[in-house]
Amino acid sequence: MRELMELLCDYLTLDHRLTCGQRLSPAQHARWLALQGALPGTGNAPGPGPSNERTDDGVRVELTAHGRFDGARLMGVSRDGLRLRLRQPLALGTRTLVRVVVGRTEYVYPCVVAWCDGHVMGVCFDGRPERAAVLGEVSGEWQSPLKLETGWGVPAACGLA
């Protein structure tokens, strides 16, 4: 899984630079072409999986959803997006951040929801990913509701729940 996330993060970082009109060095361009050939993709988020796909398959990930952080299962990966299974999928067009922690490395992919079917949804990548070392213990911080406060007084209401 670590190798796949590394390849995906490298590809998306180089692809983002191209999308922004930045030039790649010859070595970077060669790497981008090699990764484009190595990672599957059709230009769209991965479609629905096989009908016999189990609900407990996939790797546990987290994403921003419904005014909080929520857990999901990563069921499919392509160079264009991810297929996720979660309790309450997001609406089409919703922007979200998908967080994948592998070992001591965290990957955060900005995405937008491309399709939903029951508890499964496809997201397309939408921007430059972030990769960072996890310095402390991995906690449940991402699992907890967002605590939106105005700075004083009563916490702000979040009508997204």
Q: What digits encode the pLDDT tens for the residues 48-100?
A: 776 666 666 778 999 998 788 899 999 999 999 999 999 888 999 999 999 99
Task: Label residue 140 by pLDDT band (50, 70, 90).
Answer: low
Please answer whether residues 84 and 74 qualify as being in contact, where contact means their C-beta atoms are separated by less than 8 angstroms.
yes
- Residue predicted with more confidence, 45 or 14: 14
For helices 2-19 and 26-38, angle between their N-to-C axes, nearest 10 degrees: 130
What is the rounded CA–CA span in Å between residue 59 and residue 114? Answer: 20
- Residue predicted with more confidence, 28 or 2: 28
Secondary element (H or E) of residue 106: strand 105-117
Tokens of 8: 């995906």
What is the rounded CA–CA span in Å between residue 157 and residue 153? Answer: 12
Domain boundaries, the chain: 2-44+54-139
- Domain at 2-44+54-139: CATH code: 2.40.10.220
Is the CA virtual torsion 24, 28, 33, 35 positive or negative?
negative
Please write the tens of the pLDDT for every residue from 143-160.
444 444 444 444 444 444
